[in-house]
């Protein structure tokens, strides 16, 4: 393999990982999943809100996160749902989402341009396949770690993206963690892992398996 092809292969593999993760995350940014998981995790009981209010608030949060503007000024009965610290954290989350969205877009562009440059060469498919396999391995390792230490893994994740002290809340008083309790994140993380593995398996088969001969 030429040096240029080797470099492009690394870029394609990395872009494949980023794009698969992006597509998988988007699958869960919808009211159907969020409402379902909040009902399962007892967000209504924890927050004291009726189910309709829980869904209305969190649908508003989703809209602020994905579409904007990021006001996070949801109310129930005329009273604000979130305090200043909670709104600040949600704004931080939206900033992370925006940055990751840009990264996913760059990944898509990289895959398209590399596909054009490859002109049907086998190295492109192999690079996609290797990226997909690498993601599967990462998900499996992450799953094992989460099974034995989910809380610690959740903490490390937040430390990577948010300033210390900005993401800790009191479940007895803060609505943010009442509406999105730990069970919500455990089950969403599990479902996300399954989707990641399924999508990655398809691309791994296309790049490295029988599909590569087509």
Q: pLDDT tier at 212 (50, 70, 90 boundaries)?
A: low
d(CA 213, CA 81): 56
Looking only at the bridges linking them, the beta strands covering 75-76 and 79-80 are antiparallel
pLDDT, the chain, mean: 92
d(CA 170, CA 190): 24
Q: For residue 153, what are the domain limits?
A: 3-213
d(CA 35, CA 46): 15
Burial classification of residue 81, based on how many CB atoms lie within 10 Å of its CB (0-12 exposed, 13-18 middle, 19 or more buried): buried
Taken in order 115, 117, 120, 121, the sign of the CA dihedral is: negative
How many domains in the chain? 1
d(CA 136, CA 142): 10
Q: pLDDT tier at 1 (50, 70, 90 boundaries)?
A: low
Q: Residues 30-68: pLDDT tens digits?
A: 999 999 999 999 999 999 999 999 999 999 999 999 888
Q: Residues 160-191: pLDDT tens digits?
A: 888 888 889 999 999 999 999 999 999 999 99
A 10 A CB-CB count for 30 gives 13
Residue 13, classed as helix, strand or coil, is helix
The one-character DSSP state at 141 is: H
Average pLDDT in the 98-110 region? 96
Q: Which of 161, 204, 21 is nearest to 104 (CA)?
A: 21
Q: Where are the alpha helices (DSSP H) in 27-119?
A: 31-41, 43-47, 51-66, 84-118
d(CA 212, CA 200): 15
Average pLDDT in the 132-151 region? 90
């Amino acid at each position: 393999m030429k040096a240029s092809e080797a470099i492009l292969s690394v870029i394609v593999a990395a872009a494949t990982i980023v794009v698969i993760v992006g597509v998988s995350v988007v699958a869960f940014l919808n009211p159907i999943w969020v409402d379902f998981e909040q009902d399962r995790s007892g967000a209504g009981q924890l927050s004291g809100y009726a189910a309709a209010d829980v869904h209305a608030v969190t649908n508003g949060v989703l809209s602020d996160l994905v579409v904007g503007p990021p006001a996070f000024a949801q109310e129930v009965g005329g009273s604000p749902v979130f305090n200043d610290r909670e709104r600040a954290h949600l704004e931080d989350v939206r900033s992370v989402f925006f940055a990751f969205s840009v990264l996913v877009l760059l990944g898509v562009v990289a895959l398209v341009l590399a596909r054009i440059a490859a002109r049907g060469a086998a190295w492109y498919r192999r690079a996609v396949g290797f990226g997909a396999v690498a993601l599967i391995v990462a998900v499996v390792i992450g799953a094992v770690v989460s099974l034995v230490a989910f809380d610690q893994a959740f903490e490390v994740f937040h430390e990577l993206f948010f300033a210390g002290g900005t993401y800790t809340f009191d479940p007895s008083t803060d609505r943010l963690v009442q509406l999105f309790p730990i069970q919500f994140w455990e089950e969403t993380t599990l479902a996300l892992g399954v989707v990641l593995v399924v999508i990655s398996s398809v691309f791994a088969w296309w790049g490295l398996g029988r599909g590569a001969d087509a």
